[in-house]
Structure 1
């Protein structure tokens, strides 16, 4: 995990010329992204959030760093214009979004590979069973957000291998909907919520909060 994050940070920042404060801010944002990933799902009520590293570290979900509104006093104190500050912030978001895309892709592949070689599940298709809570691949989600769903049914191809699933999830408008997805678009959570390979019954789907 740490090695993957460091590699993505190096490739993202590259030879970018950042001040010490800018570098520290980016590292802090990266830390929030890593600690906001859903580890597992604990069923208690329909509004329950997925368990994240932040819950284990500080007991709650970390949203993001506090934003600072532009103030003309910055121009005099730092000898920089508001326009230059805005341009710098756009560049900041570009770097962070670039890191997010790189790390999300690396992390998702690692999740699938880890579960594929796990001895706890015998399903050959990425270790996904009916009733599992999974991550749904979605390139359009903002930085730090994950879409989760519950596997309701499995579909086999002519070769008798599982090729697709039906997933219950939330639509962008917040309505519960059912999607049919190829198995390649789904990733098991980092910590399986099953016992001895048997899937649990889940009654709801949740989305991770914004970062």
Structure 2
């Protein structure tokens, strides 16, 4: 890589980089937390399966992981109450509407022992999706201590719907159209309008959309 050419290109495009001081990764708390969710899942996955991966399979798996992480929803594209199409980092990277294709088949643990390595890689990608999605969604519902009242879900809020049967890289988003409260006035359940139906879910199955966090994280794996 020619450093002078890179520097000239960045200067022409008015691009500048601001780095954290060395050994101060804690100063990048938001994106470091996102990287941690990926590393936390990949580490045990590689310990268990790395011996069966060659270089090509390893690169393919990391590409699938990158696609999964960058397909997560950030916010809705429009303010229309009937349009719940999410905006993802992948759309910002490619400038194209994200068309998520379903996995090319059904992959099970038995694929680990076949000679078709692509099926094995797809099985691992599904494992990553299941584990990482659970890890990521939990970060949107953190409650350290229930010693003070938090903001309740309200009509009009956009949420991510937890669904354990969702296919890889598919995220169900919904808009709150009504809330259910207990005798003390706390919201315990919500009715959600999705792109295809209306769902009644407890608040534990409805995660606040990350669009209010104000920071966009894009994961690129080389």
Query: What's the TM-score once normalised by structure 2's chain length?
Result: 0.65
Cross-structure match for 1:188: 208
Instruction: Answer yes or no: is 1:156 the counterpart of 2:181.
Output: yes
Structure-2 residue corresponding to 1:84: 115
Q: Provide the residue aligned with 2:198 in structure 1.
A: 178
- Structure 2 distance, partners of 1:9, 1:90, is 18
**Alpha-carbon distance in 1 for matches of 2:191, 2:48:** 44
The answer on whether the counterparts of 2:86 and 2:173 sit within 8 Å (CA) in structure 1 is no
Residue correspondences, number: 165
Report the Cα distance in structure 2 between the residues aligned to 1:61 and 1:101, rounded to whole angstroms. Answer: 24
1:55 aligns to 2:75 (yes or no): no
Q: Distance in 2 between matches of 1:182 and 1:135?
A: 12
Residues 147/48 of structure 1: CA separation in 2 closer, same or farther (3 Å cut): closer
Q: Does 1:31 align with 2:66?
A: yes
1:61-82 Cα distance to aligned partner (Å, 9 max, x none): 45579x99xxxxxxxxxxxxxx
Task: Give the unaligned 5+ runs of structure 1.
Answer: 69-82, 195-211
Say which structure, 1 or 2, has more relative contact order (CA 8 Å, 6+ apart). 1
1:139 aligned to which of 164, 182, 205? 164
Q: Is the 1:32–1:62 Cα contact (8 Å) retained in structure 2?
A: no
State the 1:90 CA deviation. Answer: 2.8
Q: Secondary structure at the match of 1:112?
A: coil
Q: Which residue of 1 aligns with 2:150?
A: 124
Q: 1:51 offset after TM fit, Å?
A: 0.9
> d(CA) in 2 for partners of 1:54 and 1:21?
23
Cα offset, 1:6, TM superposition? 1.4
Q: TM-score, normalised by structure 1?
A: 0.68
**Whole-angstrom distance in 1 between the partners of 2:163 and 2:89:** 22
Cα deviation, residue 44, structure 1: 5.8
Local SS of the residue matching 2:190: strand
1:105 corresponds to 2:105: no
In structure 1, what is the Cα distance between the partners aligned to 2:46 and 2:99? 23
* Per-residue Cα deviation, 1:96-145 (whole angstroms, up to 9, x for no partner): 111111110111010122xx69xxxx9736x5221011111111111111
Q: CA deviation at 1:4?
A: 1.0
> How far has the Cα of 1:42 moved from its partner?
2.6
